[in-house]
Structure 1
């Protein structure tokens, strides 16, 4: 087999050159990171779970007309995706006060917000992914006003879909982040959802107990991350309820 050309390696995924023009192979690693990669572990099976769940969410979004980069899953850890020009911003949608928002505004974690709140963060690990305003985005030419409007519209549609889906399986969608990329069709440009949607990029709480089912389990040492992710996958029907769970974490010093 010919050696594949790696395009990019991030904290949780590797991108390889795809087999078709304007495609990439997205490989999901087992690495878990927190606090800007200051905390790191390898959680056996995490990449498999995130690959399957991201496929599930992206396929559902396509079915309701939300454009995204997913083409098809190739195997347990890889999927074929469309090549996009990533806008260097994380788009965060918050339904409930938690994490940095709760700390920044002195709010009690779990406070329901009066409406979904959208925040933008610059993708820059060296700076700790700082929050930026629309004025910053336009002034520094990271995106245009039309791009911002389109990103907000995409994020709210994803929120509507994900909130309803999670509520149906007893999970509260507290917040999540997406990345957005540009694709060009002739002279026409449009924005689509890219990267991944998984418990790595969402805060998910059990509605009845408040138990956390997302990466906060790893951040704050609240239990077994693989068990939390497996529970989400089972509730969504991505994994059979009587299937084997993944093994526990293997810490990397």
Structure 2
């Protein structure tokens, strides 16, 4: 077999040249994604297999409702064929509930519902710990223009509607998530698509099952807890759990 040309390797994935022009093969590794300091640094057998299946499920679902993604098809247990895209150097974060860094930054109690989904941007640079940036920064430094930002917000909110509904249907609350967005060209026409992956590596998920039994007294709210063994449990609830997969631990999600 001819040796494939590696295009890029990150902590959690490797990209190889695809079999057709404008395509890539995305290989899911077992290592935790970058920016997840509480995850054990060693590889956990089966994480890549599960993330491949879960990302396929979500990306194919988005494609089916008209939300464009880079996903074409799954090739095997660890690889999928994707469209090549120019990645915008931003993490687009959508928050539905106060958690993590937002709670710390603004002093909002963990688990409080937000008045509406909030979209934030973080500049992708691990050396700088992916700092939060404003729309003014993004336009001023040429990472995207104002039309791109409007399109990214619309895209992110459509993804949020889809993911929130799917998760709620299996007893899970989607607190927040992050996506990456890429540009593709079709002749002279450019459009934005959801790229990278959608998996527990970039979603904060809370388990809603059994919440009623844990309600506090005198109306005191009881917040849902993290989903135990999130990779395996999410795949099981969605009906995409492959056989012979070692359980993977709960990841650290969005800061």
> What is the TM-score when the length of structure 1 is the normalising length?
0.89
Change in CA separation of 1:74 and 1:244 when aligned onto 2, cut-off 3 Å: closer
Contact 1:33 1:41 in 2 (8 A): no
Contact 1:36 1:128 in 2 (8 A): no
Shift of 1:247: 4.4
Deviates more, 1:101-110 or 1:34-43: 34-43
List structure 1 segments (4+ residues) > 6 angstroms apart after TM superposition: none
Cα deviation, 1:15-73, whole Å, max 9, x if unaligned, reads: 01111100000000000156566861211100000000000000000110000000000
Judging by fraction of residues, say which structure has more strand: 1
What's 2:204 paired with?
203
What's 2:93 paired with?
92
Q: Distance in 1 between matches of 2:67 and 2:7?
A: 26
> What is the TM-score when the length of structure 2 is the normalising length?
0.88
- 1:119-198 alignment to 2 at 5 Å? 119-198=120-199
- 1:15-26 alignment to 2 at 5 Å? 15-26=15-26
Structure 2 residue 57 is matched with structure 1 residue 77 = no
Change in CA separation of 1:140 and 1:16 when aligned onto 2, cut-off 3 Å: same
What's 1:220 paired with?
none
Structure 2 residue 214 is matched with structure 1 residue 212 = no
Contact 1:31 1:40 in 2 (8 A): yes
Q: Name the count of aligned residue pairs.
A: 235
Shift of 1:228: 2.2
Q: Any unmatched runs of 5+ in structure 2?
A: 212-223, 250-255
Shift of 1:212: 1.2
Residue 42 of structure 1 aligns to a residue whose secondary structure is: coil
Structure 2 residue 239 is matched with structure 1 residue 237 = yes
Contact 1:32 1:40 in 2 (8 A): yes
Contact 2:5 2:17 in 1 (8 A): yes
In angstroms, what is the RMSD of aligned CA positions?
1.6
Q: Distance in 1 between matches of 2:82 and 2:164?
A: 24
Q: Distance in 2 between matches of 1:244 and 1:32?
A: 20
